[in-house]
Chain A
Amino acid sequence: MDNPARAPILKVMEIDSDLIIVGGGLNGPALALAAAQGGLSSTVIDALPVGDRKARGFDGRSYALALTSQRLLSAIGLWDGLADNAQPMLEIKVTDGRAGEGPSPFFLHFDHAEIEEGPMGYLVEDRYLRRAFLDAMEAEPLITLRHQERVVAQDTSDGASVTLASGEVLKGRVLIGSDGRRSGTAERAKIKRTGWGYGQTALVCAIEHEKPHGGIAHQFFMPSGPLAILPLTGNRSSIVWSETEDNAKRINALEDADYLNALRPAFGDFLGEIKLAGTRFTYPLNLTIANSFIGARLALIGDAAHGVHPIAGQGLNAGLRDVAALAEVMIMAVRRGEDIASPLVLERYQQWRRFDTATLAMATDTFNRLFSNDIPILRMGRDLGMGLINSVPSLRRNFMREAAGLTGDLPKLMTGRAL
């Protein structure tokens, strides 16, 4: 029929993949794999050469995966290859302590037997997780990997495209920023961030110890900052030790033996003799939240959306929740015939995740501020508080369910259901 407003040129969208994912760390690959389950294709762009990302040695980094995160990895087909190298976290003990004085008598004790859903989580080393993601992506025909490529420009006004440093342009339907807390994707989209530093630095390392850890994770709240001992496979543990910036700088400058000497009194000798197992790392602690998790045909996930204080090991877990929520929202949209990058679809993701994230950011911030000091009244208050939580089983179970990630409006992938 005669149609006066018919557009002169029929625009046909030629795309390289449905999703263009910038950042190939952990959340980006997880999203690509989850999206592939719903038939969506992805191009995953990472700045590092693939060799670096497949390094086999243990570099000391590991993650405390909440039970729900483990279920997500299972749902996207990764867990079978990881299970042998994962240490179940059977108990968590939280203690308020001061160096040299030993732990305060009041502590919280969480035992997985009380939540009846299996271990509260798993400790997995970075090297195994990264390799598993790379292998799974290489085996997935819907995923294209672009290693050692840097994005220099992006355009999401009509479709979603990025320009690589080589000048090559990649086109998709939606652009995903999974490029960390200094996300270039967010910056190029002019999404501002809110955040602050804590004046603290996390010293991270792995240790080998004489006595078995029994699958118990420890969290000590020291005046200078929290110290976590997380059980790895064998007689090894991962240490995440937050100190004031000045202290951290001083400690990190020490030789290995002196470094261990500084560490030892903080948690006592219950693990027997200790020695370093891998590289030492430092991370400045800060909180940074993107003012919006979405833009035109764009979504941010993981630290690009929210970098929280790593006090409870919730950084990767929060990122994987983004992954599960965004994958579910997009796959549901595909099955309804909706445009996966329409503002309405992306808004569903933002609504789902922003509230959760704000709660987490506030909780970890408050927790850290409350525990990172040596004011007697606060110390007494928190000891009593911990004693109280510990003595009331229902409160304790709520804390555990929170730590295991079992609270809130869970995406399907985190309940062990397929999309």
Chain B
Amino acid sequence: MQAAPNTVDPSEVAKFEAMAAEWWDPKGKFKPLHMLNPCRLDYITSQIAGEFDRDLSAPEPFKGLRILDIGCGGGLLSEPMARLGATVVGADAAERNIPVAQVHAEQSGLTIDYRCTTAEALAEAGEQFDVVINMEVVEHVADPLAYLTACQQLLKPGGLHVCSTINRNPKSYAMAIIGAEVIMRWLPKGTHEWNKFITPDELCELLSQSGVNPVDRKGFVFNPILWSWSLSDRDLSVNYVTASVKPA
């Protein structure tokens, strides 16, 4: 496998490998991601459509765009991007995720280039993308700035970087760790380390330092009455997402 230097913390990769086979079971361990997915997709698709002037009601609106999905897992974001017509590379540092994602894409009649690799290795190889999707990864890496810089290098000029993570405050500790891991058991205990969480201001500062211009940020808010997620302009207190553009 890749011997390139990478910033993935080995103990983190092992945790996700243990869960890989369950990726596509909507009622399994990845239920929370499946629940969050429509909301993530709404954000990603609208940002891409806006940045590249595409009409989402047209067939294959993302045709001609090369998209990288980092931390692709079982392909929950890669498959929708491919279905929308994009050329997709799904990258994951956990080797076991790759065959799982590959098999599922083939079952779905989709062609996706899944690779067991890292952002750093792809950047070193000179790969270039129109869009880098980087969801719920940055809180798991050892050196966020080095990682985000690699993401920036992967973008063509004018390219779009969509990055989501979890805020760091008492509420996010309660929701993401006590709520999701301990009470709901949505995620295995130890999935997250709270001190690795990043505030929106910190993330935008890191993104700027990496060489992209943050242009948008929104919150993912869970509504326990409707039992579903929605996007919020104001509430970025727990899960949130950003969009940044690499200068042309």
Contact = CB atoms under 8 A, between A and B. Distances in A.
Nearest to A4: B99
Given A38-B57, A342-B26, A10 B102 contact: no
A325 to B, nearest CB: 15
B108 A339 contact: yes
A12 interface: yes
Nearest to B25: A343
Interface string A35-54: 00011000000000000000
B57 A335 contact: yes
B163 to A, nearest CB: 19
A337 interface: yes
Interface string B233-245: 0000000000000
Interface size class on chain B is: 20 to 34
A42 to B, nearest CB: 16
Interface string B40-69: 011001000000000011010000000000
B106 A1 contact: no
B102 A3 contact: yes
B102 A5 contact: yes
A413 B163 CA distance: 34
Contacts of B37: 338, 344
Given A337-B79, A337-B83, A344-B26, A7 B103 contact: yes
Contacts of B203: none
B103 A5 contact: yes
Interface string A297-339: 0000000000000000000000000000000000010011111
B57 A10 contact: no
Interface in A5-25: 5-7, 10-13
Contact of A337 (B26, B27, B84): B84
Contact of B99 (A5, A158, A344): A5
Contact of A344 (B34, B103, B107): B34
Contacts of B100: 5
A3 B79 contact: no
B109 interface: yes
Contacts of B108: 13, 339
B100 to A, nearest CB: 8
Nearest to A37: B57
Given A337-B41, A338-B38, A338-B41, A11 B106 contact: yes
Interface residues of A, number: 23
Contact of B80 (A7, A12, A336, A347): A336
A12 B109 contact: yes
Contacts of A10: 106
B109 A338 contact: no
Contacts of B162: none
Contact of B45 (A5, A6, A13, A335): A335
B80 A3 contact: no
Nearest to A335: B56
Contacts of B82: 337
A158 B104 CA distance: 12
A174 to B, nearest CB: 14
A13 B116 CA distance: 27
B80 A338 contact: yes
B106 A7 contact: yes
B187 interface: no
Given A4-B99, A5-B102, A39-B59, A337 B45 contact: yes
A297 B81 CA distance: 21
B115 interface: yes
A12 B106 CA distance: 8
Interface string A335-362: 1111100111001000000000000000
A336 B42 contact: yes
Contact of B109 (A1, A5, A13, A342): A13
B98 interface: yes
Interface in A245-264: none
B61 to A, nearest CB: 8
Nearest to B78: A337
A5 B114 CA distance: 12
Contact of B81 (A337, A343, A347): A337
Interface string A67-107: 00000000000000000000000000000000000000000
A6 B102 CA distance: 7
Contacts of B107: 7, 11, 158
Nearest to B108: A339
A110 to B, nearest CB: 32
Contacts of B57: 38-39, 335
Given A6-B102, A39-B59, A337 B109 contact: no
Contacts of B109: 11-13
Contacts of A4: 99
A333 to B, nearest CB: 8
Contacts of A39: 57, 59
Given A12-B109, A337-B41, A338-B80, A343 B115 contact: no
A3 B26 contact: no
Given A5-B103, A10-B106, A336-B45, 4 more contacts: A1-B116, A335-B45, A337-B41, A337-B80
Interface of B: 26-27, 34, 37-38, 41-42, 45, 56-57, 59, 79-84, 98-100, 102-103, 106-109, 115-116
Interface of A: 1, 3-7, 10-13, 38-39, 158, 332, 335-339, 342-344, 347
27 contacts: A1-B115, A1-B116, A3-B98, A3-B102, A4-B99, A5-B99, A5-B103, A6-B99, A6-B103, A7-B102, A10-B106, A12-B109, A38-B57, A39-B59, A332-B38, A335-B45, A335-B57, A336-B38, A336-B42, A336-B80, A337-B41, A337-B45, A337-B80, A337-B82, A338-B41, A344-B26, A344-B37
Among all A-B residue pairs, the 6 with the closest Cβ atoms:
A337-B80, A5-B99, A336-B41, A337-B83, A337-B84, A13-B109
